[in-house]
Amino acid sequence: MKVPAFLSSYVDGDSPKRLFQGLALGVIGTMVIGFNWGGWQLGSSVDERVNTATQAAKVSALAPICADKFQRAAKSDSDLFAQLTAVSSWQREGHLKKAGWATFPGGAEPDSEVAKACGRMIIESL
């Protein structure tokens, strides 16, 4: 196969080696710039960020509802505050989950982070 005249300088001698070295260097440089400064991300890091943001949004939406439900129930039954304050701080989450304050309609089981935030909100309101 005969190479066209305008490509002969790239195919003959040492030129192909230099061409592929430049190509490899360009690809590596593009990837370094893209991932560090261009905003490129791997799918796993995006999934991790989405899961973290989803959990934070769920906690910020449901914890105030949990605390409000507890405080409304505590107005009619003053023993609820006494029971919650009698439990140590590291057991509050389990107490709220077991009592059903962190379980919401459509949820199969209570959320630990919601229960933890709910407990903090209730204690801060005392």
- Tens digits of residue pLDDT in 57-76: 989 998 898 888 888 888 88
* Per-residue confidence (pLDDT) for residue 56, from 0 to 100: 93
Quickly count: other Cβ atoms within 10 Å of residue 55's Cβ. 13
Q: What is the pLDDT along the chain (126 residues), one digit of tens a residue?
A: 676 777 666 666 667 777 788 889 999 999 999 888 888 888 888 899 999 999 999 899 988 988 888 888 888 877 887 787 788 878 888 888 888 878 877 777 888 888 889 888 888 877
What's the CA gap between 73 and 89, in Å, rounded?
A: 21
The end-to-end CA distance of the chain, in Å, is 88
pTM of the complete model beyond 0.85: no
